[in-house]
């Protein structure tokens, strides 16, 4: 029996539809139209009066939540993280690793890869689409809290070790393009379908451009852990902000980036190339205290996560990031939603299934108030929360 969803409005997110009727069969959208002039078919009804339907959110950079860390790489940890994500409208994500010993990274990649292979069977939980490898191919100067002794120069051989351990489930890799071997590794990663993201980097403008020419197509938490922008030495930030083909993500929590700088970023990258991420750690949705980030003990207080005085991830949620864009940059809901739905889906090459509400797409939706608060999350046509 089909499921029929009705609401006040729907954002695809490229257009608004008033009084929508969404018909779901076998976990996919069978049809989508306005109720005006459309006969509502028989089926199980879900009516969300005065609320807005939107695509489920996609977080391409998240380390944990609900007290658990993605590097634990076991069913218990991911189940808690994925339920917590669903509460905030996230229906798909990239569990993100951190720099650690190669043995620990390989073990985490092995565990995550096995769970990703069976993830579509997880009811009521966000789905892991693949792994984001953040570290160890990053700069000493811009490593943030990543352990310096575990940093490794990029090479095809080391990448292949990680790739094989993950059973081919790495989808994105943060890399500093100025490092010896980086350009060759970016080119090799692109050949197997991995998106290289420029980040944790002290690259000059020319070094960043070399990485882009080799195949890098994204940038990690723009402004954070990057060489500062100078009017005579634009550096990696100049390349990221100026390149119309490069997508870039940002942590819109008001802590990692000042609200006015968020506005500048959005104007530079535009509505099609900007992506919201959380960089959230295990402390998300938890009380203040000490929490783990890949084994590091991070102190969390008043929304700020620190390790030895440095920012160490966030407790941001993606629905809050959308509302912050609306508040800080004065963007309307439709614009802000696109940064967490269609844009990440297009970057990952999965917009044929996710990130856009249309016939034939997966039935992953979030039900929102006009202010962007999450009322319900629907994954595969079923209410998850």
Annotated catalytic sites, by residue? Answer: 279
Distance from C-alpha of 221 to C-alpha of 202, rounded to nearest angstrom? 14
Distance from C-alpha of 183 to C-alpha of 75, rounded to nearest angstrom? 35
Distance from C-alpha of 175 to C-alpha of 90, rounded to nearest angstrom? 26
The residues with which 126 forms a beta bridge, in sequence order, are: none
Distance between start and end Cα atoms, the chain: 21
Distance from C-alpha of 53 to C-alpha of 366, rounded to nearest angstrom? 6
Report how far Cα 267 is from the mean position of its chain's Cα atoms.
20
- For residue 258, CA distances in Å to 47, 224, 272, 279, 362 come to 39, 11, 21, 16, 35
The dihedral built from the CA positions of residue 103, 140, 252 and 267, taken in this order, carries a sign that is negative
Please tell me the number of Cα atoms within 13 Å of 365 on its side-chain side: 33
Q: What is the length of the chain? A: 385
129 in Cβ contact with 61 (< 8 Å) = no
128 in Cβ contact with 93 (< 8 Å) = yes
DSSP 202-238: ---HHHHHHHHHHT--EESSTTTTBPPP-SS--HHHH
E strand or H helix at 251, and its extent? strand 248-251
Pairing of strands 248-251, 218-219: unpaired
């Amino acid at each position: 029996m089909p499921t029929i969803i009705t609401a006040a409005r729907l954002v695809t997110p490229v257009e608004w539809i008033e009084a929508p009727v969404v018909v779901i069969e076998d976990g996919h959208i069978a049809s989508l139209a306005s109720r005006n002039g459309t006969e509502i078919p028989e089926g199980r009804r879900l009516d969300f009066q005065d609320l807005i339907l939107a695509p489920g959110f996609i977080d391409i950079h998240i380390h944990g939540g609900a007290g658990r860390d993605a590097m634990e790489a076991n069913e218990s940890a991911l189940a808690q993280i994925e339920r917590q994500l669903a509460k905030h409208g996230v229906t798909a994500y990239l569990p993100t690793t951190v720099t650690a010993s190669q043995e620990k990274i390989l073990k985490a990649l092995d565990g995550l890869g096995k769970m990703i292979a069976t993830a579509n069977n997880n009811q009521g939980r966000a789905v892991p689409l693949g792994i984001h490898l953040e570290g160890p191919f990053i700069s000493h100067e811009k490593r943030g809290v990543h352990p310096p002794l575990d940093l490794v120069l990029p090479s095809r051989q080391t990448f292949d070790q990680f790739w094989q351990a993950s059973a081919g489930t790495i989808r994105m890799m943060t890399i500093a393009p100025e490092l010896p071997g980086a350009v060759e590794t970016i080119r090799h990663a692109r050949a197997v379908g991995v998106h290289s993201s420029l980040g944790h980097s002290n690259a000059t403008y020319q070094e960043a451009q070399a990485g882009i020419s080799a195949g890098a197509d994204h940038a990690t938490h723009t402004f954070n852990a990057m060489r500062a922008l100078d009017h005579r030495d634009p550096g990696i930030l100049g390349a990221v902000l100026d390149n119309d083909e490069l997508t870039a993500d940002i942590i819109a929590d008001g802590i990692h980036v000042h609200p006015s700088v968020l506005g500048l970023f959005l104007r530079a990258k535009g509505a099609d190339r900007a992506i919201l991420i959380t960089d959230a750690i295990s402390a998300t949705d938890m009380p203040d205290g000490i929490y783990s980030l890949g084994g590091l003990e991070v102190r969390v207080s008043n929304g700020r996560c620190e390790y030895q005085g440095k920012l160490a991830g966030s407790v941001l949620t993606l629905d809050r990031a959308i509302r912050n864009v609306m508040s800080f940059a004065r963007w309307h809901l439709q614009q802000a939603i696109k940064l967490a739905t269609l844009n990440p889906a297009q970057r990952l090459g999965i917009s044929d299934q996710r990130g856009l509400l249309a016939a034939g797409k997966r039935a992953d939706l979030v039900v929102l108030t006009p202010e962007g608060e999450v009322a319900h999350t629907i994954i595969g046509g079923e209410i998850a929360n």
